[in-house]
Amino acid sequence: MPDLQPLPDADIDRRIAAHLDPGETVLWQGTPRPATFVSPVGTLLCIGLIALGLAIFTGLIDRYAFFPAPPGSLQRLLPAAALVVVGGIVLASLWTRRGANWAYAITDRRLMSARGDTLVRSVEPGDISRFDTHRDAVYWRTLDVPTRDRQSRNRESRYPGFHGQDDPQGMLRTLEDWREGFSRRAGDSAAAFVAAAGTDAPAEAPPEGIRRLRHPATGLTLDIPADWEATVSQDRIGPLRLFGVTLLKRFDRPGEERPYEDGARWNRLTVRGAPDAGLTLIVLDEPLTKTLREVRDDPWARRLNLTFLKETPELEIGGLRGFSLVRQMPAGARLVGFGKVSAPVATRQAWLGHGAMHLEIVGMARLDQPDVQRAVDAMIDSIRLP
């Protein structure tokens, strides 16, 4: 079972190093066995085509078959060259795809596989639904994109993952532990955040372990665990109209997602602690008109098989008033801002308004992680207007 430990920069394979993001840490790297992806039958066929082409041109084939043109003639050159070129191109393709040209890596952010200078696959933990094995390969299934091409004859396309492994079961356990580690760390930091949020500290100086984010247009603030990722975007939100006809009352056009920076303009904030832990907050320049009944009776909730758990009809937080409710979402359901979830989660949705603006908030945490659930509640409770 491979051990996940940070590798020194000098030891990182150049094929992996070329595609690392700033600050990204390689925890493991490896290569498949050199003969991986090499087809003995395909290789022999390519060599056979090349040999046949040379035999035709030189006349060696004349012992076994009649060929009207003399050896070395133009009439022999054309078919011979075609056979040699086709066999050579296919053989070169097989050679470049052999295992010795591949490099695999597990980093603190994603899984990577590179062939030569090309990054073939880059998969983050939140995109993976589960891992599995096939012969000497450990491959993954993704939540949103069907990475498996069942019709392809290319083994790497049919089973995207780490091939040519001496201990596939050990690698399977390593990858499962790597993915679960994100959730464990989110739980640990969530518990520390909840503890810190309960301490008395000056309003302008959040306690250690807490990061305070600010919406520049309204001055609204939100506290999050210091080591959770925060990204923002400026979305276009409004009705969808075609030739003056309103097709949808609400249509969100996502903007470019970027890391949070103080003073940068945004109306959507996404906070992620793990693939199944986080919060989204949308700031809308309009009064709150949605009601608890509308949300509770939303037909999409039934279609997504959401289970009602709890509601708060009257909610007041940091100068805003509204309501919230908690639902259980099954594995495989899609959560706005996070995509499909790989395990059952609890979602807390809140609508809070103040004058001519309001907020829409969705928090998510696994059912078996109460510390993360409390952290989501603490983040929502930390919202303040100046």
d(CA 184, CA 369): 9
Average confidence score pLDDT of the chain: 85
CA atoms within 13 A on the CB side of 169: 0
Per-residue model confidence as pLDDT tens digits over 65-96: 767 777 777 777 888 888 888 888 887 777 77
52 vs 195, more confident: 195
Residue at token pair 């495989």 = 332
Provide the pLDDT for residue 78.
82
Kindly list the strands in the beta sheet with 320-329, ordered across the sheet, starting from the edge strand earlier in the chain: 258-259, 229-233, 268-274, 277-284, 357-366, 345-354, 320-329, 307-317
Per-residue model confidence as pLDDT tens digits over 170-228: 999 999 899 888 888 888 889 889 988 866 555 567 888 899 999 999 999 999 999 89
| Helix 168-197 × helix 370-381 angle, to 10° | 40
d(CA 337, CA 364): 10
Q: 209-381 has which CATH code?
A: 3.40.1000.10
pLDDT at 367 over 60: yes
CATH 2.30.29 assigned to 9-37+98-179? yes
Whole-prediction pTM? 0.72
The pair of structure tokens assigned to 70 is 């003399």
Backbone phi, then psi, for 145, in 5-degree steps?
Answer: -110, 125
Single out the residue of 249, 321, 329 nearest to residue 292, CA to CA: 321
User: What residue spans in the chain does CATH classification 2.30.29 cover?
Assistant: 9-37+98-179
User: What residue spans in the chain does CATH classification 3.40.1000.10 cover?
Assistant: 209-381
d(CA 16, CA 320): 48
Given the DSSP bridges, would you call strands 334-335 and 161-162 parallel, antiparallel or unpaired? unpaired
Q: Using CA of residue 348, residue 279, residue 342, residue 250, what is the dihedral sign?
A: positive
Per-residue model confidence as pLDDT tens digits over 11-40: 999 999 999 999 999 999 999 988 787 777
